[in-house]
Chains A and B, each alone.
Chain A
């Protein structure tokens, strides 16, 4: 079946502009995660959603970052007033549930460049 998809694959924006990144999880997966990978660094957890529970936003680096999820489907990550340090690859992953044993399946990522 289809895997996790993300759009756009690449985004170049100017400092100060807002951007929206989209993630389509695997159908039937109730848990959805956002991570980011800055150049030369490992992946950092940003936020996760599980069903109708309140999202865990503990990884969001500032209040310029927010995310929404519609039911158990599409999620959007919004970055307001982008800064150069926001440049990174943003990865989305989904899994069957929130339990730590479930394998997370990653999308191809969105490469964000802030000029």
Chain B
């Protein structure tokens, strides 16, 4: 079984400041890792994912996340946030075991609020 913990339920930051949203997971098997984002009044959409290879993955809008196997973490970072980054961010994992399907196990979400 897997579980995901997002350590901060709310993160308020000022525009152009750096931000880190923390995510830790627990699993008895290897997992794929994801960050999903839900902008106000919009549906949930994939931000970035780690499948294999380089442990640092990037999104098109400047976010990055680093997979740390020893610490079982997948923290999300951005060096300079914009007002438009205000959203709820969900960390999720899925099992690498093929016959367990691709069901996602989500954390409880972190509400990022960017203030001018």
Interface residues in chain A, defined as those with a beta carbon under 8 Å from any beta carbon in chain B: 3, 31, 33, 35, 40-45, 48, 50, 56, 59, 91, 93, 95, 97-109
| Residue contacts A-B, CB under 8 angstroms, 7 given | A41-B108, A42-B109, A43-B44, A43-B104, A45-B105, A104-B46, A106-B36
In the complex, the answer to whether B102 meets A102 with C-beta atoms within 8 Å is yes
- Per-position 1/0 for B94-116, Cβ under 8 A of A: 11101011111111110000000
**In the bound complex, what is the Cα–Cα distance between A31 and B101 (angstroms)?**
9
Interface hub of A33, A42, A59, A105 (most chain B Cβ within 10 A) = A42
In the complex, the answer to whether B101 meets A59 with C-beta atoms within 8 Å is no
Interface residues in chain B, defined as those with a beta carbon under 8 Å from any beta carbon in chain A: 4, 6, 31-32, 36, 43-46, 49, 51, 90, 92, 94-96, 98, 100-109
7 A-B pairs besides A35-B104, A98-B101, A101-B102 with CB distance below 8 A are A43-B44, A43-B92, A44-B106, A45-B103, A100-B96, A106-B43, A109-B43
In the complex, the answer to whether A100 meets B94 with C-beta atoms within 8 Å is yes
Shortest distance between the CB of A56 and any CB in chain B (Å)? 6
Q: Closest B residue to A4 by CB, please name it.
A: B43
Shortest distance between the CB of A97 and any CB in chain B (Å)? 8
In the complex, the answer to whether B43 meets A48 with C-beta atoms within 8 Å is no
Shortest distance between the CB of A2 and any CB in chain B (Å)? 13
Q: Closest B residue to A43 by CB, please name it.
A: B106
In the complex, the answer to whether B94 meets A42 with C-beta atoms within 8 Å is no
Q: Closest A residue to B52 by CB, please name it.
A: A101
